[in-house]
Structure 1
Amino acid sequence: MEKYVSLTVQLLWDKYIFDSEISEGGFGLVYKVKNTQDQKFYAMKIQNLKQLINKTPNNFSNEIIRIFREVNTFKLSHQNITKFIESYFTHDNKFVIITELAETDLRNFRENNSGLSNNQITDIMLQILKGVNYLHNQNIMHRDLSPDNILVFENGTKFKLCDFGLASHNAESINYVGKKYFKAPEISNEEEYSYNNQVDIWSAGVILNYLCTENYDIDGKRLSDIKKRDPTHAFNLPSTRKIFEPLLNKMLTLNPAQRPQALEIIADLCLLINEPLNKHIDEEEKSNEAIIIPQNNLC
């Protein structure tokens, strides 16, 4: 871990100049900063560890584990995973992560591009699923896939997964995590059900529906709730998006064991654009050895 987390404090503030605040999320504040050495802009995420003092023991434990999960995913290396640059613990009790700087996230990108073509949607989904496939090959489930956690680069042509604070290395989990509209139906706060990495496939399916319809839900109802009430329900897409309907309904199957694997979805997407599967899996076959994400009995 020493390779990825530095305790050098002065270097951090000498090296980076604050430009502007980007957002405030679950991890903390995110800033656009400029590296004084290479003159390039990066994203700086700052977690104020002092804020954890007043948390309940369970919440404190979860936040610490979240930080260590982030640290351990710094080793991930894939064209559709946001690139880690460096990280620091500072003398004033802050944990800082530097990553490559995105142009925007998928939610804002979609809102500003209402006229996406089917080929563009296919390309976006291919890149998302290639990132998911890489994670699953590393025995990691993201558990929090949503348009907010997919970053956009290179003038809207490159899409990368980010935010691994909820990522799990367990083959199965029972924890209630994820965003409301994107959680798989087996992740429930009512009863404890074991789930596996197929929760990411469900979330990716909701993202596909969002790209096709610009909606997270149907008439205010979550897709997971609709499917739990009627497991045979088939989701419909607008006439111009019908090409995606068979794949969407496979991804949004209630039974996780019947959902396709990420690589199967990549193959289906390749068929839609008449491209060979090998064009999109060569890199996946060069996966690194599995990366261990620390766990505790709360996560």
Structure 2
Amino acid sequence: MPAQPQNPAGNQENLPPEQEQWLDAVERALNVRLGEIPPQGDNAVEDMIVDGPEEERGEFMAIVEDEEQENIEEGIEQRPTHDQQGRIIEEQGEFLALGDDEDERDIERGVEQRGVDLRQPEIPFEAPPPYDPPPPYEAGEQEDMDDEEFEELERPEHRELHQHDPQPGEGEQPPERRVYNEMPQAGSPIRLNRKNDGTMVIDRRSVPATIKAKRERSLGRRDKVTYEPTEHSMNVEGLLTPPNKVGNERLQSVFASGATGYLQKFPDIEDSAIKRCHAMEEANGSLQFVGADQIVHETKILTALSHFKDAKGAENIIEYRGSGISQFGDPFLIMEEMNGGTLANRIPDDRGLEEPQLNDFAKGVLSGMAFLQNRNIIHQDLKADNILFRENDSTVPVISDFDTASAHEGIASDHENGRDFGYRRGGSPDIQPPEVYDENGQMTGKIDSWNGGVLMLQAAIGNEGRQAFLDETAEFRAQDGRRDQGLYDAFLDPRIANVPPNIQAVIKGLLKIDLNERMTAEQALALIEDQPEDEQQ
């Protein structure tokens, strides 16, 4: 029903008839819009409303049209009041002061006399004066400003309401986690095959060969093997000394020597060393190179791994820099030079590494082991003498000496010029797992897990403790057939009683007799990386 008319104090009475008629028409139109009364006639009052002051259309009409709507900006409901004739006298609330203030139209508080406004004639619009922009700067005018004024203009002071002065330690962002790429680098020719367990097999045919073997077979005599360069070989003609001959005094340039070769500094590439074969002179004056097959084999593996430089654990593998055949006919391999010594030199005889160093070593060597296991490469000789460091102050371990590495398939399987001979057993006997001694033992990448467990034991308890443990478990490991894990742990547990718990868990997880229970390097690494920093210190 229509709103009950009211007659508040201050309303306007005795209006001229034409204004009363106009207000009655407005009131009827509003009640029609509110649905309070049915339309009458042709609703000519609509034209009257439209023809009213332009300022009255818009916000005023929108509020009246929706009786449930509250003022959105101020949250104050608009309640129209009426006089005895049903005319709108005033609306209380916060509204636009139309017709009252030409400049300040936003009224914060007060009562708007809408009845008066509705009856006011339209105020003629006066256009503002045209915009007169200031004259442009003359050349050189800005240069006269002081540097301090420029600095103030360019960098105004700005503070948020809640901003406070930074305290020590605030605002420091945690270091970003490195993003690894386990696939070969862009543009690499390396091809991979994925296995069901998620590991990858490097297609040996996709690895650029730098050395080609030529084998002459004769009945009842040892094969004669010569080596030839390929298009991928490094040319070092005139850069190398004659090979070191077995039985002669060692060359002064040799700084390390082993069963399969020796190392010299290679000055033509910064921080690099070259691995070459020992030479034996035969009766006819020709040279036979000892350990050449192993160097060729190692070259193939490191060539392939050099295409995975962005993978996790790649920094824990010695870096390959080139290979080929010297002018004397011996194969060579160029790698980064390691100036920080071996792990064996860093571990004290009577105790293990300090805990921070031990954790750094564990993370690094397990990362390198996982890198190899994920590419189906079995190193087989992970011992302290084969773990190197780049500099004396470096704690990043680097795995070297891949001459005995093997696999059942892929780049590490023993092969020559594309011929595949499969897995070949190798490595130091005292660090091999029990299955190696079994007649029907299953050879898998978890051979390296066991090697790594012995290596971690040595780093945790010292050189003497490691040797004593290997001596007392030698018979246990060498026996063929089923072995008791409990008996083995009876030897192990007393040795690692004082070792940090996370390292204990890694050692015991890697030294499991059952292959199904023995951890991979990646599983062991998770035990180290998941440790809170304060527990590792």
Secondary structure at the aligned position of 1:29 is classed as strand
Task: Say whether residues 1:240 and 2:498 are aligned partners.
Answer: yes
Deviation string 1:131-185 (CA, Å, 9 cap, x unpaired) is 1111111121111111111111232322111111111231597644111321122
Q: For residues 225 and 5 of structure 1, do their structure 2 counterparts lie closer, same or farther at Cα, with a shift above 3 Å needed?
A: farther
Distance 1:219 1:66 in 2: 31
Do 1:174 and 1:192's aligned partners in 2 also have CA atoms closer than 8 Å?
no
Q: CA deviation at 1:71?
A: 1.6
Q: For residues 97 and 110 of structure 1, do their structure 2 counterparts lie closer, same or farther at Cα, with a shift above 3 Å needed?
A: same
Instruction: Tell me the TM-score normalized by structure 2.
Output: 0.44
Corresponding position of 2:344:
107
Q: CA deviation at 1:6?
A: 2.8
122-131 or 211-220, which deviates more: 211-220
Q: CA deviation at 1:29?
A: 1.2
Of 468, 475, 479, which aligns to 1:218?
Answer: 468
How many residues in Structure 1 have an aligned counterpart in Structure 2? 260
Unaligned 5+ runs, structure 1: 55-59, 276-299
Distance 1:239 1:210 in 2: 14
Do 2:260 and 2:292's aligned partners in 1 also have CA atoms closer than 8 Å?
no
Of 348, 362, 377, which aligns to 1:140?
Answer: 377
Do 2:380 and 2:426's aligned partners in 1 also have CA atoms closer than 8 Å?
yes
Q: CA deviation at 1:259?
A: 0.6
Q: CA deviation at 1:31?
A: 2.1
Identity of aligned residues (%): 22
Corresponding position of 1:94:
330
Deviation string 1:64-102 (CA, Å, 9 cap, x unpaired) is 542332121223131110011112311323222121111
Task: Say whether residues 1:168 and 2:406 are aligned partners.
Answer: yes
Distance 1:140 1:52 in 2: 35
Q: For residues 199 and 222 of structure 1, do their structure 2 counterparts lie closer, same or farther at Cα, with a shift above 3 Å needed?
A: farther
Q: CA deviation at 1:268?
A: 0.5
Unaligned 5+ runs, structure 2: 1-208, 211-230, 242-250, 307-313, 414-421
Secondary structure at the aligned position of 2:523 is classed as helix
Corresponding position of 1:278:
none
1:255-274 superposed matches below 5 A: 255-274=514-533
Q: CA deviation at 1:126?
A: 1.1
Q: CA deviation at 1:265?
A: 0.6
Corresponding position of 2:259:
26
Do 1:27 and 1:45's aligned partners in 2 also have CA atoms closer than 8 Å?
no
Q: For residues 207 and 131 of structure 1, do their structure 2 counterparts lie closer, same or farther at Cα, with a shift above 3 Å needed?
A: same
Corresponding position of 1:125:
362
Secondary structure at the aligned position of 2:432 is classed as coil
Q: For residues 218 and 112 of structure 1, do their structure 2 counterparts lie closer, same or farther at Cα, with a shift above 3 Å needed?
A: closer
Of 423, 427, 430, which aligns to 1:181?
Answer: 430
Distance 1:264 1:85 in 2: 31
Distance 2:266 2:475 in 1: 41
Q: For residues 208 and 51 of structure 1, do their structure 2 counterparts lie closer, same or farther at Cα, with a shift above 3 Å needed?
A: same
Q: CA deviation at 1:104?
A: 0.8
Secondary structure at the aligned position of 2:274 is classed as strand
Q: Which has the higher contact order (CA 8 A, sep 6+)?
A: 1
Pick the structure with more helix per residue: 1
